[in-house]
Chain A
Amino acid sequence: MTVHELSEPTTEVVPQPDSSEAPPRPRKGRSKAAMLLVLPTMILLGIVVLYPVVSAMVMSLFKDPTIDPATGKFVDQGFAGLSNYTHWLFQRCTDTTGASVSCPGGTLGSLFWQSMWVTVFFTVVTVTIEVALGLWFATIMNRAFRGRALLRTSILVAWAIPTAVTAKLWYFVFAYDGIANKLLGTDILWTGDTWPARFAVVIADAWKTTPFVALLILAGLQMVPAEVYEAARMDGAGAWQRFRSITLPLIKPAILVAVLFRVLDVLRIYDLPAILTGGGGGDGTATTTLSILVIDQMRQGFNSASALSTITFLFIFAVAYVLVKVMGVNVIDTQEQQRKA
């Protein structure tokens, strides 16, 4: 305990002799105090996160109730084992005779792998664009210039606007008679056709969150000491060389943290595709992400929707695990260093 106090820069308000007396007592008390301080959070998270997630897992093991044609009432169909999971993963549906068949096209059951693919597509493409542009924005913002306040404002407005408003704004920009088509001289059905609808979502998301990525990377950039660049310049390193061999390695942790946050966010994307394209485009499912599929399924049955939401979060956790363990993203340490800089 004392290490912390001693390592702090000593100022005149800390009388040394007394502080050496204090530490032994709190040791036990501190741990107890910490528990008391942490407990409310743990209880609350237990109620709002753990309980729903566990009960979703339990629900996912039961069949959805069906209406009994004789009485017109919902009848529980009992334990389902993993059939809700095989329903999604192997796209197995039950036909009228009760036999297991491949889910017919047009049903939600047939959409799982397409939605997975659409979600992964959005994630890879938008995160790539956001990091590339964010990196460029950050290097510009890192230079000395006047008007920082205006810049910060212009970059934060896009981040702060609710996604629902962003979606409506881009829905207007991408309208058939809208400004996008007029500026480009095109007549693309931005929210109606398969690929234009997908790119409309990508563009709107990139617009909204590139500023956030730029800010995270900028915080990393500001940790790089100017002397390092000076030395490299003296040694004759060109701008690109300096960027490749000095900047990039030093801001890699900041970039990885930005990538982690953005990947986890886009994997659960709902608002933008739901409002901008209605989850449609083309055949009506071109921008249906996993989250949209869960919501659509909820109207048909909570238990199979629970199986799908469980698959979704396990997938997101697997991706987070890979990013943290394999790529070594260290959220806590990186952010701590960025603050100290």
Chain B
Amino acid sequence: MSTALVTPGTSRPTVARRRRGPSLASIRTYAGLAVIVVWGLAPVYWMVVTAFRDSDYTFDTTPWPTHVTLDNFANVFSTDAGNHFARALVNSTIIGAVTTAIGLIVGVGTAYALARLQFRGKHAVLGIILAASMFPGVAVLTPLFQLFTSMGWFGTYQALIIPNISFVLPLTIYTLTAFFKELPWELEEAARIDGASRRQAFRMVLLPLAAPGLFTTAILAFIASWNEYLISSQLSNDITQPATVAIAQFAGSKPHEEPFTSVMAAGTVVTIPLVIIVLLLQRRIVSGLTAGGVK
């Protein structure tokens, strides 16, 4: 208060704000919130609207769908123009599921050790894992490309899964370590005192408690693998290409014409599962993101 009296210049607006304060502040807040919502959803909304438009009206600017058709979605799943989108979705699911499973199975033990045990070289291990997550995809790709080609693995699922492990494993370990650190360790101690081995205590007491964290980590790992493009675009063929590559290479029925409405429909199909996951798990995803801090 004394400062306010000495510097009347700053005190006056403070008083004024206090009187009209709440309403003005909340108007500003809600205006800001509106900006954020529009920022996040407007381009996606435009994609969905276009996905339902007849391709003759691709560049129509009406903010809601006009000349509504489902043809674009039919085109997405048709193989007439050489697209294999349905198969690509299955490929993405297989690659994502296997990568996530490997990441979780291998990562869970390491995360437990990092969160719970004191051992020599712990900081080195943390450093190695962090460093591994910084490697650019191209640094791993060139030698693997040559190796996989010479082994006859080009276009196989394993050739797409193995490179994905390089960024999914560090992600699962970081996220899981953060989740493990939050667990009430007293329960594990109690189980140990009651005669359970460390392994039993981990499996029967800790793992059930960690289930939500494991689930969140699995989702983040799956999304990361689902979204991968660089390596898949170089190492996949028509049979094994994932959805990201299929979308980037989407061909129209007429040559030299970008099939915008069909591509937007394909984008919508790929985005819907993610929107559902985000809707159901937003709180968990946010805590997982800020814990793991990895893209």
Contact = CB atoms under 8 A, between A and B. Distances in A.
Contacts of B277: 160
Given A169-B264, A302-B145, A291 B138 contact: yes
Contact of A167 (B4, B226, B248): B248
Interface string A148-160: 0111111111111
B36 A141 contact: yes
Interface string A32-44: 0111111011101
Contacts of B173: 41
A312 B263 contact: no
Interface in B124-141: 125-126, 128-132, 134-141
A13 to B, nearest CB: 4
Nearest to A58: B143
Interface residues of A, number: 117
A52 B144 contact: yes
Contacts of B61: 179, 182
B143 A145 contact: no
Given A30-B117, A55-B143, A316 B7 contact: no
A172 B129 contact: no
Nearest to B182: A339
A136 B14 CA distance: 22
Contact-residue size bin, chain B (C-beta under 8 Å from the other chain):
35 or more
Interface in B274-295: 274-275, 277-279, 282-283, 285-287, 289-291, 293-295
Interface stretch (A14-22, A70-78, A243-251): A14-22
A229 to B, nearest CB: 13
B43 interface: yes
Interface in A275-324: 275, 290-291, 294-295, 298, 302, 305-306, 309-310, 312-313, 316-317, 320
Contacts of A316: 134-136
Nearest to B61: A182
A147 B37 CA distance: 11
A215 interface: yes
Given A49-B140, A172-B264, A305-B142, A335 B106 contact: no
B23 interface: no
Contact of A234 (B1, B131, B287): B1
B46 interface: yes
A154 B132 contact: no
Interface stretch (A93-101, A104-112, A120-128, A261-269): A261-269
Contacts of A89: none
Nearest to A5: B189
A164 B229 contact: yes
Nearest to B189: A14
Main secondary structure of the interface of A (DSSP, over half): helix
B267 interface: yes
B3 A19 contact: no
Contacts of A310: 139
B140 A44 contact: no
B260 A37 contact: no
Given A215-B286, A236-B3, 7 more contacts: A140-B32, A179-B59, A215-B290, A310-B139, A320-B134, A331-B293, A339-B291
Interface of B: 1, 3-4, 7, 10-11, 13-14, 25-26, 29-30, 32-33, 36-37, 39-41, 43-44, 46-47, 50, 58-59, 61, 102, 106-107, 109-110, 112-114, 117-120, 122, 125-126, 128-132, 134-147, 162-163, 165-166, 169-170, 173, 178, 181-182, 184-187, 189-190, 192-193, 198, 223, 226-227, 229-230, 233-234, 243-245, 247-248, 250, 258, 260, 263-264, 267, 270-271, 274-275, 277-279, 282-283, 285-287, 289-291, 293-295
Q: What are the nearest 8 A-B pairs in CB distance?
A: A268-B136, A34-B119, A154-B40, A140-B32, A164-B244, A37-B109, A236-B4, A162-B227
